[in-house]
Amino acid sequence: MTQFLKRNLPHLPVYAAGVWMLAACQSAATVVSSPAAVAATSATTMSGNPALWPKPISRLAKDPAMEKRIDALIAKMSLEQKVGQTIQPEIRHISLTDVSKYHIGSVLNGGGSFPGNDKFAKAQDWVALADGFYKASMQPSANGVVIPIMWGTDAVHGHNNVIGATLYPHNIALGAANNPGLIKQIGAATAREIGVTGIGWSFAPTVAVARDARWGRTYESYAESPEIVKAYAGKMVEGLQGEPGTKGFLSDQHVIATAKHYIGDGGTQGGIDRGQTDASEAELVRLHAQGYVSAIESGVQTVMVSFSSWRGDRMHGHKYLLTDILKDHMGFDGLVVGDWSGHEFVPGCTRNNCAQAINAGIDIFMVPEDWKLLYENTLAQARSGEIPQARLDDAVRRILRVKMRAGLFERGAPSSYALAGKSEVLGAAAHRDIARQAVRESLVLLKNKNQLLPIKAGSKILLAGDGADDIGKQAGGWSISWQGTGNVNSDFPGATSIYQGMAAAANANGSRVTLSVNGDYQERPDVAVVVFGENPYAEMQGDISKLDFASDKELQLLKKFKAQGIPVVSLFITGRPLWVNPELNASDAFAVIWQPGTEGAGVADVIMRDAKNGVRFDFKGKLAFAWPARPDQAPGLAEGKGEGDGPLFPRGYGLTYADKSSVGDDLSEAWQLAKQSAQTATIFKNRTLEPWQLMLADDLNHSKTVTSNVASLGAISYRAVDRLVQEDAIQLQWSGRAAASAGFFAKERVDYSALAAKALVFDVRVKRAPTAEVKLAMNCGTDCLAERSITQALRQAKPDQWETLSVSMACFATAKLDMLLSPFALSTSGELDMVLHHVRIEAVPAASVRCP
């Protein structure tokens, strides 16, 4: 039970599907559920209107000879060999012996996962491990079938898990550059660096159209509108894979590409990672499908499924969108890979058991850990027919097709590839030049009072801010480590910080740059440049509840310079548009530099003049996301709300040196964060109060929003009962047959941070004391949760009498109280019968459950 409630999101109430708890407490589950049990779980009929969808034509035709070869191979394969092809473990969780024993078809390394767990692994170490996997997959078998393995990696802005690689600006920056040709060059250069490590498959490009910048993956999205995403996706695929129909296609200079995350990952309500996308089918097509159209036309070989749901149904179990639309209607003939155990959230599934995902159209389970039981279950389901043979064969056919197209059957061991081990190709000068160009073209100038930029030759420049000389900060998430945290400059050999780039430019034009992170100086500068902004983050952890740049420290610095009459340039590092009116007002010039990656010199190229005071490169970048006038403008910002409520800067905005700023120093700073100044909050009183909804969930990812006076699900049942007036209380009964939970959930994040010193208080009448541990949780998203056992308090309560229990909010300190999705979720696997009345947060003299 330790994982119970740990990772999954609350499934957003209206649609009564999915759940907020993890099925991993089932990991001891034994093999196979009956077909009947599975059938019972697919309550929704997933269907739609295929006529709304485009029919892209791939420039890569099927090759009849290859199809015959695949047929012959499939005819010889054992069921074990077929199932093995569908299993993709993570390199930390599989031995070479297991690769042979289980006929494993592919492996991945997750973000921040390296050969031998060594962050500093050399190109040769990567190649040696790739060779190990290859050789293990090529062990002779009794029936003569040997199938080379594939290795997938997240090369999302360059080969970002590898020390010394060129890291390009994140996608949001590339979107601002709006240069499809450059994207193709980035793809090609990235493919070469991947080749150095003997890996042949990249989990990129992300073709999400992020519609709510509170999403922590906004920076992985090229644009909030589909045009740029469509123009880029195909180009990135061509860069990575090579051009279909040419000799270079999937040659050893190239790698297999992945369009991800299919579909609607950027459209979730509230920008909640792994959440629920409500778009109509027409909107899904218009906004979220466009990247797949050009990717398929360019011959993309793999598509990764999104963690999110569409209108209540998890994408990992979505037969209509995966099979009927993507494969049958859009003609995608490559393979569909799941995302990091995403199948475990499909109703009726666990991490180790999910025929539904394969049956819906997933060809490879990405199942980093604990994959053996999934293998066994899938094998048994293939034997029993729960997974039809035709479906399994189709999955294997697609996997083999991709492998054959990539030449894996002929290529030999990774160490024999042309680029393998060539460490000079990692971070090669030619690649860094491309990245530097991308940095230059992606910078967006928002303000330039008195034409302060570009900085004149011969200036005394004070360079301040914690982003000035921090390559980890300028690289953002998915940089060596998964979240991009924990890195120091020496982890990026060959890279250039913004300071280093400016120092070199200053050298060339007779200026002087003094680095002073905290802004102190001895000699008064002509101009101060302050580099500041968001610290690195990635999926899940990067979600926020308002579009506000919260930190205050840089603002004080900007104001200090301003007060001293020193002109100030702000260089803002960010993965999304954020409200920065106070910082804009305090700056004479303000440029958004996004997360530029390893080639920080691209910044100086634009903002510093040459020795003859000529402009070297003008600003070219235009916002691919609208910029907020207030922190509370998401959602809706992407829709370009009407008069008076529009963005501060619309999509497409970006000054050049010839332009005059449209903003002065008087932007409204009046917006006060909508922090609840309230001293209390009420969650349930006589009825569930807005924005909360009562939900029940079982241990197999089914959930239900309570909409009437009785409801039950699995081991839990609910009834509205009377305390003071009719139906003003909630009776919850757990039967103990399995784990189950009940809680109040919202569709948007709620800020209770002002209540951090109070207690969660509820009136309860315990009719039957708990027979097992009961946990009370606050939930703020996937892997964002705090829970506290309240078993003792419930056991000590006088039987069948009303009592008031309180748990101090300090017990939930590990949840992010400013972005709660649930302030109260109770779970147990034992028996319990209790009535709840009046659930609130308020001050109490001494809570019944306290935390130091």
Residue nearest to ligand BGC (CB): 110
**Residue whose C-alpha is closest to residue 631's, from 647, 614, 652:** 647
Per DSSP, the three-state class of 825 is strand
Handedness of CA 117, 118, 123, 129 (dihedral sign): negative
Q: Would you say 345 or 762 has its CB closer to ligand BGC?
A: 345
Q: Closest separation between CB of residue 308 and ligand BGC, Å? A: 10
Q: Would you say 288 or 651 has its CB closer to ligand BGC?
A: 288
Q: Would you say 108 or 233 has its CB closer to ligand BGC?
A: 108
Q: Would you say 539 or 605 has its CB closer to ligand BGC?
A: 539
Q: Would you say 206 or 448 has its CB closer to ligand BGC?
A: 206
Q: Closest separation between CB of residue 583 and ligand BGC, Å? A: 31
3-state secondary structure labels for all residues of 697-763: EECCCCEEECCCCEEEECCEEEEEECCCCCCCEEEEEEECCCCEEEEEECCCCECCHHHCCCEEEEE
Interacting residues of 133 by C-beta distance below 8 A, sequence separation 6+: 96, 99, 107, 149, 151
Residue 544 to residue 215: CA distance in whole angstroms: 7
Q: Would you say 230 or 316 has its CB closer to ligand BGC?
A: 316
Residues in contact with ligand BGC by CB under 6 A are: 108, 110-113, 154, 203, 260, 339-340, 482, 539
**DSSP bridge pairs for 111:** none
Q: Would you say 260 or 447 has its CB closer to ligand BGC?
A: 260
Q: DSSP letters along 263-294, please?
A: TTGGGBGGG-TT-EE---HHHIIIIISHHHHH
Q: Would you say 233 or 764 has its CB closer to ligand BGC?
A: 233
Confirm if 116 and 96 have CB atoms less than 8 A apart: no
Residue 364 to residue 87: CA distance in whole angstroms: 6
**DSSP bridge pairs for 764:** 803, 836
Q: Closest separation between CB of residue 481 and ligand BGC, Å? A: 8
- Strand 313-314: give its sheet, edge to edge: 276-277, 309-310, 313-314
539 in active site: yes
The one catalytic residue in 265, 297, 539, 818 is 539
**Beta strands per DSSP E along 583-705:** 589-592, 681-685, 687-688, 693-698, 703-705
Position 121, amino acid: A
Q: Closest separation between CB of residue 3 and ligand BGC, Å? A: 13
Confirm if 543 and 477 have CB atoms less than 8 A apart: no
Q: Closest separation between CB of residue 205 and ligand BGC, Å? A: 11
**DSSP bridge pairs for 788:** 776
CB atoms within 10 A of CB 367: 28
- The DSSP 8-state label assigned to residue 325 in this structure reads I
| CA–CA distances in Å: residue 467 to residues 33, 157, 472 | 53, 19, 9
Q: Would you say 338 or 421 has its CB closer to ligand BGC?
A: 338
Phi-psi domain of 667 (left: phi exceeds 0; alpha: psi -120 through 50; beta: other): beta
**Residue whose C-alpha is closest to residue 581's, from 712, 480, 446, 710:** 446
CA 338 to chain centre: 14
Q: Closest separation between CB of residue 108 and ligand BGC, Å? A: 6
Assigned token pair, 827: 């779970």
**DSSP bridge pairs for 570:** 530, 590
Q: Over the Cα atoms of the chain, what is R_g?
A: 28
Q: Would you say 108 or 547 has its CB closer to ligand BGC?
A: 108
Q: Closest separation between CB of residue 575 and ligand BGC, Å? A: 15
3-state secondary structure labels for all residues of 349-383: CECCECHHHHHHCCCEEECCCCHHHHHHHHHHHHH
Q: Closest separation between CB of residue 486 and ligand BGC, Å? A: 13
CA 407 to chain centre: 31
Interacting residues of 553 by C-beta distance below 8 A, sequence separation 6+: none
Q: Closest separation between CB of residue 112 and ligand BGC, Å? A: 5
Q: Closest separation between CB of residue 340 and ligand BGC, Å? A: 4
Q: Would you say 111 or 200 has its CB closer to ligand BGC?
A: 111
Phi, psi of 117 (to 5 degrees): 55, 25
The one catalytic residue in 324, 339, 534, 763 is 339
Assigned token pair, 82: 């077929």
Confirm if 123 and 421 have CB atoms less than 8 A apart: yes
Q: Closest separation between CB of residue 207 and ligand BGC, Å? A: 12
Q: Which residues of 154-164 are buried (b: 16+ CB within 10 A; e: fewer)?
A: bbbbbbbbbbb
Q: Would you say 292 or 340 has its CB closer to ligand BGC?
A: 340
Q: Would you say 249 or 340 has its CB closer to ligand BGC?
A: 340
Confirm if 456 and 523 have CB atoms less than 8 A apart: no
**Residue whose C-alpha is closest to residue 454's, from 595, 604, 585:** 604
Per DSSP, the three-state class of 230 is helix
- Max Cα separation, the chain? 87
Return the ∠ at Cα 165 (arms to 570 and 399), rounded to 5°: 120
Q: Closest separation between CB of residue 19 and ligand BGC, Å? A: 17
Q: Closest separation between CB of residue 539 and ligand BGC, Å? A: 5
Just list the catalytic residues.
339, 539
